[in-house]
Structure 1
Amino acid sequence: MPNEGSLDAAGKRSERIAADIKAGNVDNYTMLTGDRPTGRLHLGHYFGTIRERVRLQNAGVNTNIVIADYQVITDRDTTEHIQDNVYNMVIDYLACGIEPDKTMIFTHSAVPAENQLMLPFLSLVSEAELERNPTVKAEQQASGHALTGLLLTYPVHQACDILFCKGNIVPVGRDQLPHIETTAKIARRFNERFHCHVFPEVTGLLTSTQLLPGLDGRKMSKSYGNAIALSMTAKETAKLIRKSKTDSQRTITYDPISRPGVSALLTTAGICTGRDPKDIATEIGDGGAGQLKRYTTEAVNNYFAPIRERRAKYEKDMDYVKDVLHEGNKRANEIAQKTLYEVREAMGMVY
């Protein structure tokens, strides 16, 4: 995790950028963010990042989303179901309000020139710097795998994602700031080493959204079975919430430490209704877990009803979904080839 000083500085930079965007100075910014297609996107993804992407897109920022299919194998031995996950990811984006004429959606594996940036970028970071990255350490521990070369260089690959399109803002949570710092170092070191101005200054745009826990109070994750996927129906959502664990106390109170299950439901209901979880707890009072689960189910299903309606429409038009990805990959290749040429030119490697 970054220290408090760097967090404070990152917070102030984020505030300045947000104010600048709000003032209409959107031409100064290019955003890049993305997801690994390891499963279905869920409510944590939506409230944590997707909603912010839509907001930036609609504000007029140049927005780009990478579906990081190559990064699936940083800590996994198989790519089973990856195509289905990728297509469903595109459907989720579209249903949530991402518009392909405004936001470029592409996949790692379809953009060779972007991945070729890895070679010069790797020369700009040390092994020690890569090994210190806290996210790399955490993902290695979570997977139980040996540290692969791809996982070790994961932050460098993210730098390729961001810099190939000259991205200069990346919406992130505080735990992702070390990745952005690595990208910023690579951009700065490249420009300095080769006496050029190919790459911009990169800043992490800290998201202000409250972290949405899983239904059991732990981190929301498909592997824990505690995540409400965006692709779930209203009935499937109701069933999952009904099965969620609470506790034996009848009176509902908001206490994330002592009552993680109850508090997770309150947080979910709160973020979907725009209400304070404590106010919801007071309102339900002695109504017990049953009433809390009904309230949360209604809150989630009401909020996501229009998204699910759009999702059902796109599911029936897979040709359009594939066209969106093909067009995004085409645009990404054009941008990546141009940037790679600039990189080779700066390095004196155009023959």
Structure 2
Amino acid sequence: MSPLFTPLALRGMTLANRIVVSPMCQYSAVRGEANDWHMIHLGHLALSGAAMLCIEATAVEPDGRITPGDLGLWDDATEEALVPVLAAIRRHSPIRVAMQLAHAGRKASSHVPWEGGQLIPVAEGGWLPWAPSALSHKEDEPPPLALDVAGLNRIREAFRASARRAARLGIDAIELHAAHGYLLHQFLSPIANQRSDEYGGSLENRMRFPLEVFDIVRAEFPEDRPVGVRVSATDWVEGGWTPDDTVVFAEALKKRGADWIDVSSGGVSPLQKIPLEPGYQVPFARKVREATGMVTIAVGLITDALQANQVIADGDADLIAMARAMLYDPRWPWHAAAQLGASVNAPPQYWRSQPRDQKSLFGETKIGQR
């Protein structure tokens, strides 16, 4: 069996293969509530044959949204809006469903990407973002509000409440978003965190708040369901967060019971310089895996089945998470399985679609003709 299509157990959850649909912001919620777009978007990805589908970055409070269209899980209305979406997925797919819990920090109150993605001023319907320090993401933006003790407590409790709601919804796993320049990454990076209290300065201090949030989420989520963390392995800016820092952070998370590290990069500064090429972030996943022994997820310009399979075969990572490639080809796992001689789960309504030379693509299927 090809490595990409071998199962993997994480606590009480077993993944059928090593393919994950990465969390992808849709900016299409209303007041944080999922709607028919999420039913369509998540529904068709649930039929992809991937082992796990991760719901997009889900804000734990209204001020933690990147845009006014971000999905949320902070009250009864946002929780109830996800019920029919998840029920439809459960009826028609065995895919495991994870959720990425997030807070945008100083990158909140932004326009959606297709409207430029710039900060929305308060006078134009935006809100004042929160951050570790009163430092703007871009020089021409007004500074965010620096979090005081009350603010830190509020956000801790918001993550706690969202984790409880996720558990009640039957979410199979949680991924904590500590990457891409959002709040928890802002605490980690010296570029965004210039506090002088116990949450700033040294690496140990900068890790403190993200680790506290992880402890809260882990404690509130059922013991048999996994909790992982997405990180930016490097800021790609001199003087910023580094791969060595990431290893230290991962080791601390491992001691606290983290089940995986999803290794991405960048996002905390517009000054970043990223050398984009296929699999450019895979070496970071390998570094974390080799240093800590943790399950790692590789992401970033992994688009070819042979490439993905080799990442797993070489021990660079344990899982492959795909975003843009999955949007472009929502049946990517089917095509990868056909190429690698493996089989993949598909709904019986689609069994007749397999090519004549791939009769085992969907396992032992029996299609009669009336």
- Quick one: higher RCO (CA 8 Å, sep 6+), 1 or 2? 1
Normalised by the length of structure 2, the TM-score is 0.28
Structure of greater Rg: 1
Q: Could you state the TM-score of these two structures normalised by the residue count of structure 1?
A: 0.30
Structure with the largest fraction of strand: 2
